Amino acid sequence: QVQLVESGGGLVQAGGSLRLSCAASGRTFSTSIMGWFRQAPGKEREFVAAINWSGSSKNYADSVKGRFTISRNNAKSTVYLQMNSLKPEDTAVYFCAAGWKNIIATVTYAYDYWGQGTQVTVSS
């Protein structure tokens, strides 16, 4: 079993920044692929960013490239999502996910465990 707990969400004005954290416990974190997804009201959950076990390879959705940065600290079993230049369309519940399929996947079914999510609201 793996437990994932997100934190760092909140209300921010457009153009502002937030840093999300996801703390993991249980199965070996250092070998996992970690991803961030988001889900806005009435919409499907969508891929935001993912990172391989060492942090040497990352993937981003086009909508967040150049604004968001994913990183991880295996010693702390934590993955981060630094979000800059936030826009109202970034408003959503953000979820972290863990998988061990050895690919930096952009689809939800490639991940085995999910956190409960943290709300990010960007006001205009």
C-alpha to C-alpha distance for 88 and 77, rounded to whole angstroms: 30
Question: Is 102 or 50 the better-scoring residue by pLDDT?
Answer: 50
List Cβ neighbours of 49 (8 Å cut-off, separation of 6 or more): 35, 36, 58, 59, 60, 61, 64, 68, 69, 70, 81
Instruction: Tell me the per-residue pLDDT of 1-27, one tens digit each, with 9 for 90 and over.
Output: 899 999 999 999 999 999 999 999 987
- Across residues 88-115, what is the average pLDDT? 93
pLDDT per residue over 31-90, tens digit each?
899 999 999 999 999 999 999 999 999 999 999 999 999 999 999 999 999 999 999 999
Spatial CB neighbours of 52, under 8 Å, sequence gap ≥ 6: 33, 58, 104
* Both structure tokens of 25: 């416990």
